[in-house]
Amino acid sequence: MNLETLAQVNIERAARRPVFVVTDVSNGDQRLVKAADLASDPLRNELSKQLRMGKSAVVEAADGKKLFINVYAPTAKMVIIGAVHISQALAPLARSLGYDVTVVDPRTAFATPERFPDVNVVAEWPDVALPPLNVDHYTAFVAVTHDPKIDDPALLHAFKSNCFYIGALGSRKTHAKRVERLKAQGATDADLASIHAPIGLPIGAISPGEVAVAIMAQITAQLRLPKEGAA
């Protein structure tokens, strides 16, 4: 990789934008593909697939050339609203899968390093805690306090941040009331439809650990599986 390409890669990575370096295996020629140019690139399907998988690969172009796609994807973040029992199981599970995890809860009795070892814990209200975290499209956002005073403002922040996954704990009845509250605070129909609630895949989970597995599986599916109509 030449210095100019490396500099562009570093700029995109610093901005948490995915970027690709495509190398012609036969002669070493390289080109850079930025996220903004992905939709118009002739390799868009292959690039999108490798981005979803988060891995580099050799592919064959339409003209038969073998190309090595080097994928530079932002490290996925997880923001967990609520330092509850489910979070104690979910945080280390997400960390084991490479997520940069932060737990947010203003209740200082729950949000302690002792309950969440090796995890960033912020004992502040969402309006204070979330802006510095730079929540973005590569963030999985999980709200599990069951307290509207904490979950609702956090979810409104997640909507504005275009998170790839938003989930909220609660029954269908609880979620229906949540939808009414959020809509009254300006959430759009698209915002509300983006919430996975009840949270997690329906695997019959009962214990906090099982619920954490169900949530993590749903997040993984959202990250890795192609969206409807996509390649």
| In the predicted structure, residue 230 carries a pLDDT above the cut 60 | no
Q: Which residues contact 21 (CB under 8 A, 6 or more apart)?
A: 1, 5, 9, 30, 31, 32, 33, 69, 70, 72
Mean pLDDT throughout 35-57?
Answer: 89
Mean pLDDT throughout 132-153?
Answer: 96
Asked whether the whole model's pTM tops 0.75, one would answer yes
| In the predicted structure, residue 81 carries a pLDDT above the cut 90 | yes
Q: How confident is the model at residue 61 (pLDDT cuts 50, 70, 90)?
A: confident
What is the average pLDDT score of the chain? 93
Mean pLDDT throughout 41-67?
Answer: 88
Cβ atoms of 102 and 163 within 8 Å: the answer is: no
pLDDT, residue 52, reads: 85
| In the predicted structure, residue 83 carries a pLDDT above the cut 70 | yes
| In the predicted structure, residue 231 carries a pLDDT above the cut 50 | no
| In the predicted structure, residue 63 carries a pLDDT above the cut 90 | no
pLDDT, residue 1, reads: 79
CA distances from 102 to 98, 194, 230 (A): 13, 21, 31
Mind listing the pLDDT tens digit for each residue in 87-105?
999 999 999 999 999 999 9
CATH code: domain 77-224 is: 3.40.50.720
CA distances from 131 to 58, 60, 72, 128, 145 (A): 39, 42, 25, 7, 19
Mean pLDDT throughout 75-88?
Answer: 96
Every domain of the chain and the residues it spans: 3-72, 77-224
| In the predicted structure, residue 47 carries a pLDDT above the cut 50 | yes
Q: Which residues contact 106 (CB under 8 A, 6 or more apart)?
A: 123, 124, 125, 129, 150
Mind listing the pLDDT tens digit for each residue in 118-133?
999 999 999 999 999 9
Cβ atoms of 178 and 152 within 8 Å: the answer is: yes
